[in-house]
Amino acid sequence: MLRHLPAMSDLAIADLHDPALSQRLQQCTDQKTKPPGSLGRLEALAIQLGQILGSDRPRLTAPQMIVCAADHGITAQGVSAFPADVTWQMVQNFLAGGAAVSVLARQHGVALTVADCGVRHDFAEGAPGLLRLKIAPGTADSSLGPAMTADQCAQALANGRALVQSLPGNVLMLGEMGIGNTSAAALLLARLTGRESGAALATCVGRGTGLDDAGLARKCTVLARALAANAEAQTPLAALAALGGFEIATLTGAVLQAAHERRVVLVDGFITTAAVMVACALAPHARQRCIFAHRSGELGHALMLEHLHAQPLLDLGLRLGEGSGAMLAWPLLVSACAILNDMASFESAGVSDRTDRPSPA
């Protein structure tokens, strides 16, 4: 039984609803030298960025990509096509600059922070670029009982909050690494949306790192056992501790802190959206700060997006994780702000506006 889960009442996340600001942003967008709505969703993105940052001239500063890594005890049940050692090996790859997210972050000049939240490996002391937030060398096997103790979950949430507090800028991008973490994300999706049995559970469970049909069936069976073994974990925090992972809990804390600080949160794929689901269950206004980079190819991500009423920016069939989708979507945020701040208006450019537009108030 999980007890002593932390209260989040000390973390104020206000409603961003500001009709006057929204009207100014809409007017500013409409008065650019273009037919209204002709830049499609880029216009809505520009308005959302202005709403998050509280300005009709939003500026994105010092964007930060965080990749939180951890291992999962449930991998002992054969839920992944890859061995658990890949987690620490990929952390080394991030640090060496060879992973997809490393390449993309370097391409776009985005700061990358890699955090060991619970990897089953002892990294060299002083490994450059690695933030040490390890709580334990991997979670327990959630198919047998809670993945984390309440204290471990609380520490992971606190670590995520402290991590964001230590970083500059007003944009946080979410990334992760952890063999077995599609199982943890699927479990959280099933518990938080009530899709816990039979065919409903199967809609939450994907092939992860590339399971064949037999492996996928085995994964569904194992996850059903995990849900049954943790049937009492019904609140969002209890579910996070019982079914989640150290990296997911750390990301949940990071989302809550970023929302509190009114940062833009650029969400990657299936795993990071699971963290956002928990954060929004704890603090619904956190959702207002979130921009969803892409629709993952992992089965279940579409259900998460539907649950959060989210429309992703991209749909490229990605299912790598790491934060790669968030990095690919980042230039769209830059462009949206540039259009809002730098594009001429009809008046400033001396271009004739359409004749049926009402005059601005």
Looking at the annotation, which residues are catalytic? 322
What's the number of CA atoms in the CB half-sphere (13 Å) around residue 110?
Answer: 32
User: Quick one: how far is CA 132 from the chain centroid?
Assistant: 20
The angle that helices 19-30 and 41-53 make with each other, rounded to 10 degrees, is 140
Q: Are 32 and 343 spatial neighbours (Cβ–Cβ below 8 Å)?
A: yes
Dist. CA 234–CA 102, nearest whole Å: 37
In degrees, to the nearest 5, what angle opens at C-alpha 85 toward C-alphas 83 and 90?
Answer: 110
Dist. CA 332–CA 43, nearest whole Å: 11
User: Quick one: how far is CA 211 from the chain centroid?
Assistant: 24
176: enclosing H helix or E strand? strand 171-177
Q: Please report the beta strands in 246-289, taking only residues with DSSP state E, as ranges in sequence order.
A: 264-267
Least Cα distance to 52 among 267, 228, 320 occurs for: 267
Q: What is the arrangement of strands in the sheet containing 111-118, beginning at the earlier edge strand? A: 130-132, 111-118, 64-70, 171-177, 264-267, 290-292
Report the Cα–Cα distance between both ends of the chain, in Å, rounded. Answer: 60
Q: Where on the phi/psi map is residue 350: left (φ > 0), alpha (ψ -120 to 50), or beta? A: left
Least Cα distance to 112 among 173, 72, 66 occurs for: 66
DSSP annotation of 300 reads T
Dist. CA 68–CA 257, nearest whole Å: 15
User: Quick one: how far is CA 45 from the chain centroid?
Assistant: 17
